[in-house]
Amino acid sequence: MKEYDVTIIGLGPTGGTLANLIALQGFSVLILEREKNFYPLPRAVHFDDEIMRVFQTIGITKDFLKHTIINKGTKFVNSKGKIVLDWPRPRTVTENGWYPSYRFNQPDLEKQLRKKLNKYNNVQIKQNSEVNKIKNFKDYVKINFKNVINNNLEEIKSKYVVGCDGANSITRSQMNTKMDNLGFTQKWAVVDLILKKEKKNLPDRTIQFSNSKQPATYCRNVGKRRRWEFAIRNNQSEKKILSNSYIWNFLKPWLNNNEAFIERKTIYTFKSAISRKWKKGRFFIAGDAAHLMPPFMGQGMCAGIRDVSNLAWKIAKCLRSKHSEKLLKTYQSERFSNVKEYVETTMRMGEFVNAVGSDQITDNISSANDGTKSMQSIKPKLGQGLGNKTDKSRGKIFPQFKTRNGYCLDEKFSKKPILLLSPKIKIKISKKLNSTNSKNYMGLSNYFEISNSKAIIVRPDRFILNSCSFSENLNNFIKKNLFILT
């Protein structure tokens, strides 16, 4: 029976990202994907600076950037065409070292993730593979699956299994857990088009049409791609909604059928839900298998990638050292509250788009002198888990710092957590620990001053594990965190 370090079920963006993060650490990976090939049509169209930083770790940003555009933000307009709320995405680099928001075409991302995976000798991809059973044992998991082409059955062993297998996750069903519905369920039509020529009258950013009669969304996507989404009432015929005549009639205010062709048209049921359990023994769920949210914030795929960024380094730590239930249990506790805040914020945004909710979508709403309201993006901390919960820095994203010649500090902790020291600290640190002094990185010394810290531990997922104030004993601080640092 073949054995692997990690088996991943599903090769969408979440599974592909996880596979790259595990392979980067040098461990063997098996990916089981039911489909013969990746889905060639648009689905996810947005990601943010945090996610680009994960792609930077994987090593795909140079090529992938060519297939993206910078997203300028979102405007909410009412039925009279008046802007009632603005969500700008300034064209400035954030603390993560990238622009706040990007647009892309999902097949382009999946190609880049697979291209990178093909460079690893320790990664095997099995297409046409449908998982039937997952069973926990003390030191491994057994997985039974079949080839959907010839019905041949196979069984393998894996130290860990992660289900990135979507809303209808077989992995979640094997956990025997339920999804809790958080209250937003609505059918929407999604229409992707490719313009035959440039249409300068189309907005260059996302527009949310807040309208109780016909809530809708317009997305400016990569190149000549554009997307419209609109809500469907329960008594409307789905067949009629997806007819070309109905779609072109809906699109009449913006363009006609001579100016674009329809690449994809479908109906989604937008849901808000979170699984009660994300872990059972040595297998886990991530992405849509663990949570679902409407698309109004463009955070569905982002949330899945945050999941696996959190989980990958913890699994790698257990593979390198020894299995730790305590460490792996923090996966759900840290991610649950973070993703729930995104889901609930997206729900409030959906209610506002449906013109049945308040514009107080987040706490980050401000009003200008002319009455115009603006919204800022949310950046939730991690939930309770690793680190000292009384530490104000713990659970926050750590900025990306660089040397004057452009060398990224991120590269020093892409595989293991790092101990960063203030330039005021002169003591010698064991070479067994992954550590560095802050003096060579632009802005890092100032960061220590502002945070009133003399040492900071940063995790491979770019979040702060713990910080050490000047009143604390540094040696004791290191001893308390030795398990993570070694």
pLDDT at 61: 97
pLDDT digit string, tens, across residues 288-331: 999 999 999 999 999 999 999 999 999 999 999 999 999 999 99
pLDDT at 38: 83
Alpha helices in 102-205 (DSSP H): 106-117, 170-175
Contact 290, 162 (CB under 8 A): no
Among 4, 283, 258, 248, CA closest to 126: 4
Among 163, 130, 180, CA closest to 282: 163
Q: Is residue 384 scored above 80 in pLDDT?
A: yes
Q: Is residue 20 scored above 90 in pLDDT?
A: yes
Q: Is residue 196 scored above 80 in pLDDT?
A: yes
In this predicted structure, which of 78-87, 135-144, 154-163, 457-466 has the lowest mean pLDDT? 78-87
In this predicted structure, which of 289-298, 363-372, 413-422, 438-447 has the lowest mean pLDDT? 363-372
> Going edge to edge, which strands form the sheet with 46-48?
46-48, 101-104, 68-70
Among 413, 353, 354, 45, CA closest to 193: 45
Question: Rounded CA gap, 213 and 234, in Å?
Answer: 13
- Give CA 298 to chain center in angstroms: 10
Among 299, 304, 305, CA closest to 350: 299
According to DSSP, the β-strands at 206-209 and 73-77 are: parallel
CA 387, 392, 395, 397 torsion-angle sign = negative
- Mean per-residue pLDDT of the chain: 94
Among 18, 4, 7, CA closest to 287: 18
Contact 46, 71 (CB under 8 A): yes
Contact 71, 206 (CB under 8 A): yes
pLDDT at 65: 97
Q: Is residue 369 scored above 80 in pLDDT?
A: no
Mean per-residue pLDDT, 45-60: 97
Q: Is residue 209 scored above 80 in pLDDT?
A: yes
Write the DSSP symbol of residue 408: B
pLDDT at 407: 87
| Element housing 18 (H / E) | helix 13-24
Residues 6+ apart with CB under 8 A from 97: 49, 53, 56, 399, 400, 402, 408, 410
pLDDT at 366: 84
Mean per-residue pLDDT, 278-286: 98
In this predicted structure, which of 126-135, 146-155, 342-351, 372-381 has the lowest mean pLDDT? 372-381
> Going edge to edge, which strands form the sheet with 464-469?
435-437, 418-421, 453-458, 464-469
Please name the residue that has the structure tokens 């380094």: 313
Alpha helices in 192-324 (DSSP H): 238-241, 244-250, 300-320
Hey, what domains does the chain have and what are their CATH numbers?
A: 3-68+102-179+274-336 (3.50.50.60), 409-485 (no CATH)
The CA–CA distances, whole Å, from 310 to 28, 235, 303, 319 equal: 19, 42, 11, 15
CA 51, 435, 120, 59 torsion-angle sign = positive
Contact 283, 290 (CB under 8 A): no
Mean per-residue pLDDT, 36-61: 95
pLDDT digit string, tens, across residues 119-143: 999 999 999 999 999 999 999 999 9
pLDDT at 353: 95
pLDDT at 107: 97
Among 404, 386, 286, 374, CA closest to 334: 386
pLDDT at 37: 86
Kindly state the tokens that stand for 253.
């205010």
Q: Is residue 359 scored above 90 in pLDDT?
A: no
pLDDT at 424: 82
Please name the residue that has the structure tokens 């923090």: 330
Q: Is residue 90 scored above 80 in pLDDT?
A: yes
404 or 201, greater pLDDT: 201
pLDDT digit string, tens, across residues 438-472: 778 899 999 999 999 999 999 999 999 999 998 89
pLDDT at 404: 80
Question: Rounded CA gap, 323 and 288, in Å?
Answer: 26
Burial class (CB in 10 A: 0-12, 13-18, 19+), 122: middle
400 — pLDDT class (breaks 50, 70, 90): very high
Contact 401, 447 (CB under 8 A): yes
Q: Is residue 368 scored above 80 in pLDDT?
A: no
